[in-house]
Structure 1
Amino acid sequence: MKPAVLNSAMAALCLVANPAAGRAQAEGHDLPEPLRRPEGAELVFLAVTLNGAPQEGDYLIARQGGNFFFRSSDLARWRIRFSPAAAITIDRESFIPLAALPGATVQFDAARQHIALTVPADRFDAQSISGSAARVRPTDSAFAAFLNYDLSFQYDRKLQTAAFLELGVSDDWGLLTSTMAVGQQAGAGNLTRLDSYFLRDFPDSLTRLVVGDAVTDARDWSRQIRFGGIRLGTDFSLQPNLVTFPTPAFTGRTAIPSNVELLVNNAQRFQTDVTQGPFSIDQVPLVNGAGDVTLVIRDALGVERRVTSSYYVSSRLLSRGLSAWSLEGGAERRDYGIRNFSYRNPFAAGSYRRGITDWLSLEGRTELSGDVQMVGAGANIVWPAIGEFGVAGAVSRGGDGKGTLYRVFFSRITPGWNIAVSYQHASRDFDQLGIYRDEERITRQLQASGGVALGRWGNLGVVYTDLEYADRNRTRLASASYSVGIGDRGYVSLFALRSDIEGFGVDTTFGVGLTIPFGSRGSGYVRADNRNALAEIRQTPPTQGGWGYRLTAGVGENDRQQAELLWRGDPGEVSVEAGRVEGNAGVRMLASGGLLFTGGRPYATRRVEDAVGVVDVPDLADVRIYQENRPITRTDAKGRAIIPDLRAYEQNRIAIDPGDIPIDARMPNDTLLVVPRYRGAVRAHFAIEKDHPATIVLQAADGTPVEVGTTVQLDTGETAFTGYGGEIFVREVKPGMAIEFDTGQGPCRVVLGALPAGEILPRIGPLRCGVAARTP
């Protein structure tokens, strides 16, 4: 046996006997001395191509005749799997022989000092790629105080006024807000408080705290009520990009770097680049229900492979291990919108959901008060071949005794058709929060819906609801609709509705509608049924502001004619309506907007809804502002603008038009990404650096132009070179600036005096210099 082979064999035996040593080598730690360099091996730096893809830089590789050895750290960087037991030591570094990488081959080009390494795709570690967007942290908020208003003035034989007001204060600590309605009836004014609460979000833990007026959590089989107190629980809206339900992972393998694209029902939903080897893509935002996913792999050579698979997902489920909870305590609110403070029946309640597997999620809820105690649980299940199922049950004890409830649900959604059926039954004595009278207590509920997509022939849908109450009243509603597009000119819809309500008899309505869009903001609509005919034409105002209108005329049981003119601007929206309904004429004016105080200044703006952005382009007026590539507004005289409708907890792209920036200004970035909190204000500050450039003409002491190419040194540290006629261009000039250069007559120095006023790009000079020794 040759000595080199014997040494390699002994090294391998030592690693097998001591796995810890192999791990140390793989991690790049110092290696024990007994592992020695193979006899005759030389270390060289080579350029490397891996499966045809050039790797940046040169790599240290050991060569022994036709045998090659690669550093463990480089193989790990390239995600190539290897056995630590195969490692040997060369100059105290861990190397892996090529023979220890099954299926790998090399081609060595000595002239180019290049090695081409080819490794089978299954020798690489798998990449794990998430199809959902990464979590984002909110941008620091700015203090903001706002007043939203909706005002209504209506004249119909007498003047009636009403207003909805919302007052709020927000910052990084949270949101404090209160809403109220103001009305005038028979000359007597009244004010009704609606909701008042403090809200604080914790995005990192997906938790929201509400103190004050709130609503309880609710499942499909429980009720949601208004109450005053405290609610603390999970809120997935704090990370809108988070995929909360189980989605399948899509796997593939490629030998060279490639581009991977996911098509969901033939629509692109995700795209990324992958390196060589196996990969897995999970957390892909899929369409609810059943569908097909096509995995498209395109390598650098243009070769394309497609793999199609089916899936079924349901947003009713939670991903395995993911949980959501809610704790509520306080008192039920009665007579909302009528009385300012009407709270009764103190209670405590809580709910919990958890994803058990990729096909099963469990949930439960408990309500405890002096009037009622209720506990219930449910399960949601996905069987991909059939659909999704839900079951739930609850028991209660109230003033009327003990009661029970159960509910079953089935649904299947596909691109071509869908169906959903649910049935719920409650005993006469079943009780829960928010039920006070028999006419509010549903004892039996059947709901069914279905739809079929007919391709270019349109869509057909039906819905049926049957409700029975504890007071023996029963309501049955059935509807059917059909719609089909007329090319790109509009669409036609047919509809029918039948209602059977206890005490009101049977009522049937059927008709046809036609919608025709024109332009990007306008549309026309005509509808006729067995009781009425209606025609309407409208045009909405532009997003950035402008005019819109609406004209409506109807005949039949609903005889009315109406005209509306709408204006939208940065301070808000105003509309004026004139109409006649069943012979009675009247006019109405509506105004909507907000007053905002932030950044030390007040603003009149549109309503502050989800979040608000304060755009700052210092001292530059009339600069166009874009939100998600749409023109929104312009800066005012001080370079400020307000965007009142940012999306909370999402990245909002705000940009300015570089063409509106003066030529003497520099802008490091014309686009910013901001992530505001809920109802919070966030500042988007565009740093503008103004230059004071000038062209300076230099002359030697005898008045001749300085020679072309002469080096000029400015006292700012900047270096320039003269052009024809002794001209230099200086990006930033200022009075007192010293300019030094050499001529054939010796060194010269010039000091700038006062600069020309009012010129953006002045021409200064010619400036004549003297010999430095004679310069004062």
Structure 2
Amino acid sequence: MAQDGMLRAVRLAEGLAIPQSNWDEMHLRLPTAGTRLIDGEQHVLLATAGPLRWRIDEATQTLEVDAPASAFMGQRMDLSSTAPRVTRPSAWAPFINYDAQWQHRTGSPAVADALWELGLFGPLGDVSSTGLARSEGHGVRLDTRWQRDDPARLARLRVGDTISQAGSWGRALRYGGVQWGTDFSLQPGFLSFPLPALRGEAALPSTLDVYVNNSQRLQSRLQAGPFDLSELPVVTGQGEIRTVVRDLLGREQVVITPYYVSPALLKPGLSAVSVDVGMEREDYGIVSNRYGRALASLTHRRGITDRFTRELRAEASSDRQAVGAGGWMLWPSLGTASAAAVASHARGKGAGWLLMAGVDRQARDWSGGVQLRHASRGFSQLGMEQGSAPRTVLTASAGTSWRGHSVGVSWAEQRGGRFDSKLAQVNYGRDMGRWGYLGFILLRDFMRGGSGTSMGLSWSRALDERHGMGVSVQRQRALDGGNDNLLQAQVQRNPDFGAGLGYQLLAESGGRQMVQAQWQGQRAVLNGGVARRNQDVETRVGASGGLAWLDGSVFAGRRIDGGIAVVDVGGHAGVRVMHDNQIVASTDKRGRAFVSGLRGYQPNRVGVMAADLPMDVELDALEIQLTPAARSAALIEFPVRRGRAAVLQLIDPAGRALPPGTWLQAVGQTRQFAVGFNGRAFLSGLLPGRSRIHAAWADGRCQFELELPPVSGDDLPDLGTLICRSSPP
């Protein structure tokens, strides 16, 4: 590739030497022999530069260098995400969530239930307590806990009621105590599993296009030399990467690389830890404060290689202990294989063991898996009652799809517990485009004999973005030996993202009809329904939402599940507020709006509708982007400036119009306005009284004063022609 310019070349007995600065401009690797100091400047001796040829055209005094791609410096493109930076600290904000239901059935007394949550957002994390109140009995406390996140370390701490991490072979238990562990969701863009890396060479400056399963994921420019692309985001499972390198001469290199990515694996050197210490929760949902035996568990997963991740887990209570090891191995041609071995000891039962093995495959041609779990009679673990768990569990499934058709089969079997079972299922689906979707399912329970067979046929179609309809037929054997046939038809409408109404109409051949609806408002969600079967009528109504105290006021909204914010638009009422381009609220008479559902540790765009503001109001930005914590409260202020606007024509003392593109700026303000053709200009944000305006263009500058007329019905007065007189720099 020809390069313009001149460089100094020094002839030595060992050969030609050129300055290191020119060498670096060509992106060439420094030779292992290093550089040589000539006349106070570092030079590179071409004879020591490895696989590189050169010659000088004496007639034109041109240096020609022939270097292979390996002689250039490598380029590394890392697409991995960084830790999110919380842009707004959480404000103190107590809140309450409620979900109340009232229900009445013919011949029975009415029943009312309510779920509630009391909480507090703050800079030190969030505290919450949930409970259930019943009209038929006393209320019950459910969970009380304090949670604090550390996104930089991908760690989360919980103190109070929580659910233990089960690992690959444990059981998830409710307990009260302390939980600390790794949580990759605290960095939403972080990918914990190994991703494919691409390597190649470009002989000339080129462009790089990367396609994953025929979908373009990256386009970039390359300098000559080797390149290394890491952390390429791909779809999990089996797929194909196509790399296209196109150089300046139009030549293309196409490389197709198959891959298999499994989220069960961890990157080499990456660890995930979970520690649970506390007391097991008993009679959850029935008794408020009943805790049983103490428990402790530790789970540690670590990525060893790109294809192997191991897990170690230990758990213990006062009467039983278990320890085990397992791992996941990637076979790119098949899928992910897993295995685990566990040893246990329990008081009164002695020692026991558990073995697990399985294979899982996710691919475009077919997907499926097999999992086998077998335990000895003496095996015991936390959360396992005596003789309740099956000794052997086998599950298998497989499925494929082609040209709108999909077929799947599955088998599930368990033996050695309180109840043995054998279930087989076959399902088929057909996407018929604008005619909808057709589905068929066949289920067989071998433990029930002939009465254990049921089948169903369904058809559904989307009418538009919100409306849909469907019909289904189900047939199964009744316990008395007859057949139960059920025909069902329904029409539904999904509510809008903002305020809106959703409903469902359903009718069955057995004489049952149901109508239910849900209305989503800015301050609550209301629902209700009526169902009728023969002479029995059931009526239900309910409401859910949240209340929060923030910035000295109480705000009502939908249920508070994520972050919340109060948006202040400078006292202007009726201004619509948007979250990610969806209208979610309007400002009240004080110019403030309540927004819930902010996504934690992710960018959220909150904006206002400019059309709802008066013409004399100016905003520096109509949209603000913030990254809050997962459960936090924020204050968002849109700086509002009031002022009047006017149009005018500007001329110099000689009567010539100021040139187009002249910049105008009022004294004491930062905003600038451009002059158009024939000296016409528009100014806004003008304050009452006289204003001095500076004008500047490429060849000169001037200044003038203007005075706005009294406020009248004309929101945009024309000030006529004004003279701009010269001013010092």
Does the TM-score normalized on the shorter chain lie above 0.5?
Answer: yes
Would the alpha carbon gap of residues 433 and 713 (structure 1) be closer, same or farther in structure 2, given more than 3 Å must change?
closer
Following superposition, the deviation at residue 442 of structure 1 comes to: 2.4
- Give, in whole Å, the separation in 2 of the partners of 1:271 and 1:717: 42
Question: Does residue 347 of structure 2 align to residue 402 of structure 1?
Answer: no
How far did 1:418 drift?
1.6
**Residue deviations 1:339-373 (CA, integer Å, cap 9, x gap):** 10110101221111111111111111111211211
- Of the three residues 561, 568, 579, the one matched with 2:531 is 579
Residues 1:377 and 2:325 aligned together? yes
Task: Write the mapping of 1:177-188 to structure 2, written as runs, cut at 5 A.
Answer: 177-185=128-136
Q: Determine helix, strand or coil for the equivalent of 1:438.
A: coil
Residue 457 of structure 2: aligned partner? 512
Shift of 1:409: 0.9
Whether 1:276 and 2:230 are equivalent positions in the alignment is no
CA contact (8 A) 1:708 1:722 kept: no
Name the structure 1 match of 2:408: 461
Which has the larger Rg?
Answer: 1
Q: Specify the alignment match of 2:427 in structure 1.
A: 481
- Please give the alpha-carbon distance, in whole angstroms, between the structure 1 residues aligned to 2:643 and 2:716: 10
How far does residue 273 in structure 1 lie from its aligned partner after superposition?
4.1
Supply the RMSD in Å over aligned alpha carbons. 4.0
Q: Which residue of 2 aligns with 1:152?
A: 101
Whole-angstrom distance in 2 between the partners of 1:716 and 1:252? 57
Report the CA distance between 1:720 and its aligned residue. Answer: 10
- Which residue pairs with 1:263 in the alignment? 211
For residue 495 of structure 1, what is the aligned residue in structure 2? 441
Q: Return 457-466 or 91-100, whichever deviates more.
A: 91-100
- Give the match for residue 561 of structure 1: 513
Amino acid at match of 1:675: T
Q: 1:721 to 1:204 in 2, by over 3 A?
A: closer
Aligned residue in 2 for 1:545: 499
CA distance in 1, matches of 2:163, 2:345: 22
Which SS does the other structure have where 1:442 is aligned?
Answer: coil
Which amino acid in the other structure matches residue 523 of structure 1? G
Give yes or no for contact 1:423–1:446 (8 Å, CA) kept in 2. Answer: yes
User: Partners of 1:654 and 1:70 in 2: how far apart?
Assistant: 56
Q: Distance in 2 between matches of 1:348 and 1:62?
A: 73
State which of 301, 305, 322 in structure 1 corresponds to 2:253. 305
Question: Which residue does the alignment assign to 1:8?
Answer: none
C-alpha spacing 1:575/1:319, structure 2 compared with 1 (3 Å): same
Q: Pick closer, same or farther for the CA change 1:140–1:60 going to 2, 3 Å.
A: farther
Q: In 1, are the aligned partners of 2:335 and 2:362 still within 8 Å (CA)?
A: yes
Whole-angstrom distance in 1 between the partners of 2:500 and 2:369: 44
1:761 and 2:716 correspond:
yes
TM-score for both structures, normalised by structure 1:
0.80
Is 2:83–2:151's contact at 8 Å kept on the other side of the alignment? no
* Residue 215 (str. 1) matches residue 163 (str. 2): yes
Deviation at 1:562, TM superposition (A): 0.7
Q: Return the alpha-carbon distance in structure 1 between the equivalents of residues 145 and 31 of structure 2.
A: 61
The aligned residue for residue 38 of structure 1 is none
Q: Could you state the TM-score of these two structures normalised by the residue count of structure 2? A: 0.85
What does 1:51-450 correspond to in 2, within 5 Å? 51=1, 61-62=7-8, 71-73=19-21, 75-76=23-24, 79-83=27-31, 85=33, 87-89=35-37, 92-96=40-44, 103=52, 120-143=68-91, 144-157=93-106, 158-185=109-136, 189-299=137-247, 303-399=251-347, 400-439=349-388, 441-450=389-398
Size of the alignment, in residue pairs?
A: 699
User: Is the CA contact 1:620–1:637 (under 8 Å) kept in the aligned structure 2?
Assistant: yes
Contact between 2:616 and 2:642, CA under 8 Å: does it hold in 1? Answer: yes
Q: CA deviation at 1:622?
A: 4.5
Report the AA paired with residue 437 of structure 2: Y
Q: Is the 8 Å Cα contact of residues 166 and 178 (structure 1) preserved in structure 2? A: yes
Structure 2 CA distance for aligned equivalents of residues 491 and 726 of structure 1: 64
CA distance in 1, matches of 2:32, 2:565: 55
Asked whether the equivalents of residues 756 and 762 of structure 1 are also in contact (C-alpha less than 8 Å), the reply is no
CA deviation map 1:304-332 (0-9, x unaligned): 43211111222111111111111111100
Where does structure 2 lack aligned partners over 5 or more consecutive residues? 476-484, 696-701
- Give the whole-Å Cα distance in 2 for the aligned partners of 1:627 and 1:298: 41
Local SS of the residue matching 2:434: coil
Q: Is the 8 A contact 2:90 2:628 kept in 1?
A: no
Q: Output the amino acid matched with 1:180.
A: G
Report the alpha carbon displacement of residue 639 of structure 1 after superposing the two structures with TM: 4.4
Whether the 8 Å contact between 2:90 and 2:122 is mirrored in structure 1 is: yes
* Residue 645 to residue 78, structure 1, CA distance change in 2 (3 Å): farther
Match of 1:46 in 2: none
What is the distance in 2 between the residues matched to 1:234 and 1:327? Answer: 9
- Secondary structure of the equivalent of 1:204? helix
Shift of 1:737: 3.7
SS at match of 1:488: helix
Distance 1:709 1:373, change over 3 A: closer
The alpha-carbon distance between structure 1 residues 533 and 407, as it changes in their structure 2 partners (threshold 3 A), is same
After TM superposition, list the pairs within 5 Å mapping 1:547-696 onto structure 2. 547-556=501-510, 559-581=511-533, 583-657=535-609, 664-690=616-642, 692-695=644-647
Gap change, CA 1:372 and 1:756, over 3 Å in 2: same
Determine if contact 2:90/2:629 at 8 Å carries over to the other structure. no
How far residue 247 of structure 1 moved from its aligned partner, in angstroms, is: 2.2
CA contact (8 A) 1:451 1:461 kept: yes
Cα distance in 2, alignment partners of residues 377 and 241 from structure 1: 30
Aligned partners of 1:573 and 1:592 also within 8 Å: yes
1:625-682, Cα deviation, whole Å (9 max, x unpaired): 4444444444445444444223222223444455556555554444443222122234
Deviation at 1:177, TM superposition (A): 0.6
What amino acid does structure 2 have at the position aligned with 1:484? R
Query: Structure 1's 490 and 68: CA in aligned 2 closer, same or farther, altered over 3 A?
Result: farther
Amino acid at match of 2:513: Q
Question: Against the structure 1 CA distance between its residues 86 and 345, is the aligned structure 2 distance closer, same or farther, given a 3 Å change threshold?
Answer: closer
**Alpha-carbon offset, residue 61 of structure 1:** 3.8
Secondary structure of 1:354's counterpart equals: strand
CA contact (8 A) 1:698 1:705 kept: no
State how far apart, in whole Å, the 2-side matches of 1:652 and 1:479 are: 43
Separation (CA, whole Å) in 2 of partners of 1:193 and 1:536: 38
Q: How far apart, CA to CA, are the structure 2 residues paired with 1:388 and 1:311? A: 13
Instruction: Give the gaps of 5 or more residues in structure 1.
Output: 1-50, 742-747
CA contact (8 A) 2:267 2:306 kept: yes
Structure 2 SS opposite 1:677 = coil
Helix, strand or coil for the counterpart of 1:516? Answer: strand
Q: Partner residue of 1:528?
A: 473
Per-residue Cα deviation, 1:503-535 (whole angstroms, up to 9, x for no partner): x99522102110111111111111101131111
Q: What SS does the aligned partner of 2:210 have? A: strand
Distance 1:518 1:104, change over 3 A: farther
CA contact (8 A) 1:104 1:120 kept: no
Instruction: For residue 420 of structure 1, report the CA deviation from its aligned partner.
Output: 0.7
Return the alpha-carbon distance in structure 2 between the equivalents of residues 381 and 723 of structure 1: 69
What is the letter of the counterpart of residue 216 of structure 2?
Answer: Q
- Separation in 1 of the partners of 2:636 and 2:65? 49
Question: How far apart, in 2, do the equivalents of 1:270 and 1:181 lie?
Answer: 50
Counterparts of 1:720 and 1:201, CA distance in 2? 46
Indicate conservation of the 8 Å contact 1:61/1:69, yes or no: no
2:529 & 2:142 partners in 1: Cα distance? 28
3-state SS of 2:138 partner = strand
1:142 and 1:599 in contact (8 A); partners too: no
Q: Deviation digits for residues 393-412 of structure 1, max 9, x if unmatched?
A: 11111132221111111222
Q: 1:63 to 1:763 in 2, by over 3 A?
A: farther
Cα distance in 1 for residues equivalent to 2:641 and 2:204 = 45
C-alpha separation in 2, matches of 1:639 and 1:529: 55
Return the alpha-carbon distance in structure 2 between the equivalents of residues 723 and 547 of structure 1. 49
Give CA-to-partner distance per residue, 1:414-466, whole Å, 9 cap, x none. 21112211111112221111123422x2211111111122x115111112111
